[in-house]
Amino acid sequence: MPKEERGAVAVVAAFGLVIVMAVAATVMDIGTLRVARTDMQSLADVVALDLVRDLDGRSVAQLQPVVNADAVSSIARNTTTVGTRPTATVQLGSTSSSGQFVLMASGSPTAVRVSVGTNVSFAFAGIIGSHGGSTSRAAVANTSSNACFRLGSFAAALRTGDSAIAGVFESMLGSSSALGISMTSVGYMGLINSSIGLDALAAQMGVGTPEALVQQGNVSVKNLFSASAQVLNAKGDTSAGAVMGQIAAKVNATVVANIGNILSVGTGQGAGAAINAVDLLGGAALGAALIANIADHNNLLHTGVAWSAPHASNGDIALTVIEAPKQGCGLPGTATATTGQMQLITAIGFNLPNSVAGLSDSNAADLTTKQASIAVDAELGGATGTLTGTTCSTSLTETRVRVSTRFTKLQVSLPFQLNGTISATGIVPAALVPAILKNAANLQVQLHLQMKASSYVETAAQGGTQDTLYDVPPHNYNDPQPSPGSSSSYLGLATPNVSVDLANSTATLTAKVAGVTVTAAVDVSQLDLSSITTAAAASVIGTSLTEVVGNLNNALTPVAQLLGIRFAGADLFGVPTPTCSRPRLIG
């Protein structure tokens, strides 16, 4: 290298070193700034979760100085962040339905928004020409409450010791059901006081969470009962575990049930929840039997109630349970549960008597036959409940559920007709008799009456307008609380009555005047037909229909009680134990 060029290499090398150091300094300081941003986000999350615990119903004005001071304390407890000592800005408000933070100037806030920031000094500020940078991050937290509840309850119904209810429960699982279990040999009453944690049940079923279990859809009933037995044994409830294990051993491996028909669990809200062992057993049995019903068209429940009523053909009631009772868990506005639905539509042959009150009795549509039919129509729509809120304190835990009912109808009817001519005395008011017939000694009335003996009740579907409150105490999670507007008793029909279809009935006065037959039409609605309807009610028509109604009530009432179905409402049961004011990050 020529002597005059020897310094050029040193200049180039020095210039290159400066560039390398500048690039390295930039990379290091940018990295430090990125770490600071991550630290600020983590700190904002922690502070927001700390401060949301202060939201206890006080106003914005009362809480603002409290949360500002607690923000300083929270930051002081978290001193490992990069940069200068962080500063915080705290805003109080609520969250919209879409999860957005809404700032509040007054009122009681339910959410908090925390923004924290820091400054970072650059290590090589002189090289890159900048002395430092700043960063800030924000987090939003609110309080949430979640609870479980049931509409209807096998366990609570059986706890009453009602033998009719126990018999219906046994029929669901007994030899005529899809499971074919002899309940008398396994002693289901031992399960009533046992509960199965959903977390443990999900783990035994090979899924991570209760909501993942619900999302499984159809599951093996055998595996479900086996997993339940293992959960019960693990918690030391070995007696109940042994019973559930015996039941699992009897279930055919091909029988499945939709777990979603038994449980309703909101996302992330099943932790810590539990279900009563009998409710799980009954719900799974109903689901399994429903699938069997779809496959082979057999009805779910055969009550074996014979129609021993006079003139009625023998038979039994066949009830179809459409939907099993469901337990709901989750957040207010999202957790739902449904009572079971059932349906019974059938007809019973009936032999009409020859006459009633001196009139010939015949089929409602055919004068030539006395073969009639008693129509039995029951559609029990049940109800759906949605959790609206939960309150917890040291003295009271309250679960609030809004119940909406579906269409419910119960009807038993026997149409028939009465035809003939009888004395007008006591039936036709004197004011209706034409002058030409007033002095006739043989005044008669020719009647063609469309009649019906029936008992009927119906409620329309309606949305809930008032919450059902389940307070503990005085309840103890096993007591039913009827929803507002519910009847005071479970489903049942009243004693049938006999009525006349006036629009489709006719009446004609007839008498001989001076040897000539004179007739005159009269308004049926103006006649006193009470003696005829009373006679029909006292005949085998009324007595037989009364016995049919009694048999129907004996079949429907225990099932309705098991499913928690009331007229225009449902029975609400709490599930231990609601979680209140749980801090939750939402943004």
pLDDT, block means (10 residues), the chain with 587 residues: 54 49 51 74 86 82 90 83 81 81 86 86 52 77 82 78 73 66 64 84 88 86 92 90 84 81 69 80 70 44 54 68 79 84 84 93 92 88 88 85 90 95 92 86 93 91 89 87 79 89 95 85 94 95 90 80 80 82 70
Q: Hey, what are 202's tokens? A: 């999900």
pTM for the whole structure? 0.69
pLDDT for position 478: 77
User: Would you mind telling me the total number of residues written for the chain in this entry?
Assistant: 587
For tokens 């219906």, the residue is 168
pLDDT for position 148: 86
Please give the Cα distance from 257 to 285 (Å, whole number).
Answer: 8
Please give the Cα distance from 564 to 574 (Å, whole number).
Answer: 13
Residue 84, amino acid: T
pLDDT for position 37: 80
pLDDT for position 342: 81
Q: What is the chain's Cα-based Rg? A: 38
pLDDT for position 35: 79
Q: Contacts by 198-201 with C-beta closer than 8 Å and gap 24+?
A: 198/263, 198/265, 198/270, 198/273, 198/274, 198/275, 198/329, 199/270, 199/271, 199/272, 199/273, 200/231, 200/234, 200/235, 201/227, 201/228, 201/231, 201/275
Contact 374, 551 (CB under 8 A): no
Q: Hey, what are 472's tokens? A: 């503990």
Q: Is 182 helix (H, G, I), strand (E, B) or coil?
A: coil
Please give the Cα distance from 153 to 482 (Å, whole number).
Answer: 12
Cβ neighbours of residue 401 closer than 8 Å, sequence gap 6 or more: 149, 151, 385, 386, 387, 388, 467, 468, 470, 483, 572
CA distances from residue 459 to 338, 378, 456, 496 in whole angstroms, order as listed: 17, 12, 11, 18
pLDDT for position 20: 47
pLDDT for position 356: 94
